[in-house]
Structure 1
């Protein structure tokens, strides 16, 4: 219900086009989709996966389905994590945890920024935590919370709680038996690989997995859990690790630009300051990607309610030592991005990225706040346990969940209707068909990476052409924020851009390796042979070409390794679950 309340507009026909979210009818295994263009490999292996999936289903359906899946998995995973760690919280605690995990500013702001694949990784975090804690055998050693003094304990209540914990443990990995451990490893591999649709999601999942590996337990050793987690994460990271090493121009990334670091720092919301914004799961760098209720002093109310629902359960959560590593990670996930937004923090981030441009992914400090969510979910469930001696659990759950939803009302219906599909003009399909019939390098005007289309709504969006064409689209990756341009990595595209703006003739453009020039929207008529034209888009045939990128087989192989992790992990979970369930049923009898 919560997922539908947030994402229902995506059920309409059309394509998600909103800032960084770009979906097209079809994507292809182009050089860019394999990480062989000059752009930083920030969208690997998601572009590879969407290219494969869109050969079977419409690409717009694929992206919308994955986005909805990510939000749904977040809520369901929070409930499963509670069932493993706080089995005595019951359904009431699971409902509060699911509400906190789905209905918060982080989800709203990342939806508005168009980070659909990051939300898939976000949805995997509680599953990763539950799986590793199950492998550690943490659930098997959790004592049930004593009943209130005025309520007589039920006969065999401890056995029933332990049985419930073990059943949930079996769901995500089991303890003790070889079959349970094997299924737990498969589950961990699957969730880490799924989170690895994007590098940030993989880094988030690996952090949660390693933190949970440190939890006390009676199952598999810390070394075993940490080793499996690291092995799965490194293997799943091969597509973008290899792309960083072999793609042309990556070493020329301008991520060390000081203004770029400052532009992506966490942002204070009204009345909260940077620390308060981050603690309440808000504070994204882009002030335009914020729900309206978080742009007014009402943000204080929203933050206070969320933090109160979480804070009441923290003391009891601390007493259950298995959750302490997640609490430490949550504290760091709030404090470190806040420090990164200070003067010394910005200087430190700039120095780190200057030394290693591939670490430009750390600039967006607020996205790491996702690491706090598993601990928040557990603490919210413990709030039900804490208040249960005085108030019925169902009443606590209803009040907490309703308060969280009511203080962020504009998350509903696609963040107030701002996350909704659009339709491409017919000319875009026709232009794409012309180029795909003869895929040669494409230069695009206007030169900015972000576009504003009247038919796509008021928010800007990344150019859809690179994901719609078989050909390499020359893009600089430059991003204008607050009137300042943060340079991207496309040095060759920048040279072509200068030629176009200087009015270079067909021969100079062809010699530079340009095959097509596309003008999106109304633009200047160029002195070039025209291949297609309508009011929305124009295609010019230049005739140049460029050699195919080297190492395509290598990059394709690394992506197939990631896909094998994903499919193999899922198959292991499904194949092992049936005999495991039968064994558990026989044991219980």
Structure 2
């Protein structure tokens, strides 16, 4: 039963947090865009710019061959909670501590705010962090197997995994060898996006230093930016803060939980000295320092200078992302607090054997147990039992406190994650383009990356789903416009070179995202065969212009075919090197699972004790 308990905790958390999002329909919010029948070849061919979404979109596209797109989305969102909770729980030495750690790891402001930003792929990598931490000091097969969530999560997940598990692997004797194995494994699982980034159009992509200001952490509690980051909040987007999170009572309770977690972590490190403890502590401190860089003017200057020096420093812009190791430390610290609360009356906390980790099967009083039997006689046994029940009850209350401190995550973030169905004219446009075997791209209008859509089930801003709806290259405005606290805006320039050429041909109105008229010849020269206008428009927009025919006309989508020709198409194809790299990654994962004789789901690490670990003696 205890083997499945952490998974059950994650499943309950998933149902409570996602609620209606697990039902039929598509949840569309910011970066979270799932569409029916996502095209795998189109995903793999990608576009100009850094191929961040290749791994996650490729997995979604592959699963969409056998499951409806909305079912794939529900499974992906639920996996964040189930995998994350089980991973944190398996690092704890007792069932009570495991439940508390698992619940705390998936129910906190970091998860809530990133979920409201739609960053499901990054959260899947976050869910895999405790698995990698547990495997980082072991054999290579276990390391590769534990990196499956990061491999699916893609670029941000791999960077976060390196920050979190790197110090764990490097700490102690043999650290260089373990660090080398981890680095090699990270490269292998990154090949599907790393090779296209180095060999294709992304090699010339740039990272706009303006993103440093746009993505800087901000105070979303009365405790200021540093305090908000310590509470695992502080995300750059004010619209991604769950309801009621900044209320004084909720902030006070959350602060108490975080302080108790840090105290519990320190106590557990002193008591059991888990092998991953010092390295994970270093990762949490380092990550918190990176997050704080963007909170000060000098720090933002340093980040902008680094990004200008080399675009590879671009991931440091979103500093709040790097409090993830601290989230794991706090979750395990709360689990340690539960361990302290559930210790036998008059004795010490349960040793690793009581939870099934470490020396499995050792009970109290057996050789090697860390606790002696309770007082002899019926009275002593009764007191021991009452004390244990009280401790378990206290631990159960501790597991519920993260939910009490963050009710804004309940039931689809209180309606913010509501599913919707795609309009019929959208599906008709998708089918019409799919039926045409002639090459050519689809230009998506309005000329804005993010927009509000009134059929999405709520007033949510989302990356235009039309950018992923079609089974061919799409051209869209990948510039990101972010509001600033003073009422201004910061424009983070996109990376797609073809999009910049299209903007010069269109000359769109910044207010509406639509051009005054369409230039069919200019679009044909760019290789555009279709224009998809994913918004209600007046038909005068195209009726006064020659060179187009209407393919689909509806209240939510208009599809125009470019008749001016010839279409200057230069369809990018998947190179043999990219196919080989993808096969290497998949093969390495299959090998790691077969080599260990178990799957990711049934692996258990428990607590690795460092030499000289202190034993409690009553």
Query: TM-score, normalized by length of structure 1?
Result: 0.83
Alignment partner of 1:359 is 2:318: no
1:515 alignment partner, SS class: strand
RMSD (Å), alpha carbons: 2.4
Structure 2 stretches lacking a partner, 5+ long: 1-11, 346-386, 484-488, 507-514, 605-618
Match of 2:497 among 484, 488, 491: 491
Q: Which moved more, 1:387-396 or 1:107-116?
A: 387-396
User: Which string of whole-angstrom CA distances, capped at 9 and with x for unpartnered residues, describes residues 463-522 of structure 1?
Assistant: 212322111001231111113322211232122233232634322321222111111111
Query: TM-score, normalized by length of structure 2?
Result: 0.79
Distance 2:253 2:304 in 1: 33
**How far is 1:551 from its partner?**
5.0
Match of 2:148 among 187, 193, 197: 193
Distance 1:407 1:194 in 2: 28
Alignment partner of 1:534 is 2:557: no
User: Which string of whole-angstrom CA distances, capped at 9 and with x for unpartnered residues, describes residues 350-369 of structure 1?
Assistant: 11111222332221111111
In the other structure, the counterpart of 1:568 is: 591
Q: Which moved more, 1:552-561 or 1:476-485?
A: 552-561
Contact 2:144 2:589 (C-alpha < 8 Å) held by counterparts: yes
In the other structure, the counterpart of 1:28 is: 39
Distance 1:283 1:567 in 2: 38
In the other structure, the counterpart of 1:267 is: 218
1:313 alignment partner, SS class: helix
Contact 1:92 1:394 (C-alpha < 8 Å) held by counterparts: yes
Match of 1:523 among 537, 546, 561: 537
Task: From the superposition, tell whether residues 15 and 556 of structure 1 become closer, same or farther in structure 2 (CA, over 3 Å).
Answer: farther
Alignment partner of 1:467 is 2:471: no
Contact 2:21 2:419 (C-alpha < 8 Å) held by counterparts: yes
In the other structure, the counterpart of 1:151 is: none
In the other structure, the counterpart of 1:57 is: 67
Distance 2:248 2:111 in 1: 20
Contact 2:45 2:574 (C-alpha < 8 Å) held by counterparts: no
In the other structure, the counterpart of 2:192 is: 239
Contact 1:24 1:59 (C-alpha < 8 Å) held by counterparts: yes
Distance 1:577 1:357 in 2: 34
Task: From the superposition, tell whether residues 249 and 579 of structure 1 become closer, same or farther in structure 2 (CA, over 3 Å).
Answer: closer
Contact 1:312 1:386 (C-alpha < 8 Å) held by counterparts: no
Task: From the superposition, tell whether residues 35 and 246 of structure 1 become closer, same or farther in structure 2 (CA, over 3 Å).
Answer: farther
Distance 1:579 1:459 in 2: 38
1:485 alignment partner, SS class: strand
Structure 1 residues 503-518: aligned runs within 5 Å: 503-518=517-532
Alignment partner of 1:9 is 2:20: yes
**How far is 1:384 from its partner?**
2.4
User: Which string of whole-angstrom CA distances, capped at 9 and with x for unpartnered residues, describes residues 207-236 of structure 1?
Assistant: 33322223458xxx4344322211110111
2:72 alignment partner, SS class: helix
Match of 1:116 among 100, 120, 129: 120
Distance 2:181 2:70 in 1: 35
Alignment partner of 1:428 is 2:426: yes
Contact 2:191 2:585 (C-alpha < 8 Å) held by counterparts: yes
In the other structure, the counterpart of 1:397 is: 395
Structure 1 residues 150-189: aligned runs within 5 Å: 181=139, 185-189=140-144
2:419 alignment partner, SS class: coil
2:287 alignment partner, SS class: helix
**How far is 1:6 from its partner?**
1.0
In the other structure, the counterpart of 1:164 is: none
Structure 1 residues 281-360: aligned runs within 5 Å: 281-319=232-270, 320-321=272-273, 322=275, 323-360=277-314
1:237 alignment partner, SS class: helix
Alignment partner of 1:256 is 2:208: yes
**How far is 1:550 from its partner?**
5.0
Task: From the superposition, tell whether residues 406 and 227 of structure 1 become closer, same or farther in structure 2 (CA, over 3 Å).
Answer: same
Distance 1:132 1:223 in 2: 12
**How far is 1:385 from its partner?**
3.3
Contact 1:266 1:365 (C-alpha < 8 Å) held by counterparts: yes
In the other structure, the counterpart of 1:105 is: 109
Distance 1:309 1:4 in 2: 27
In the other structure, the counterpart of 1:152 is: none
2:443 alignment partner, SS class: strand
Name the one with the larger helix percent. Answer: 1
In the other structure, the counterpart of 1:453 is: 453
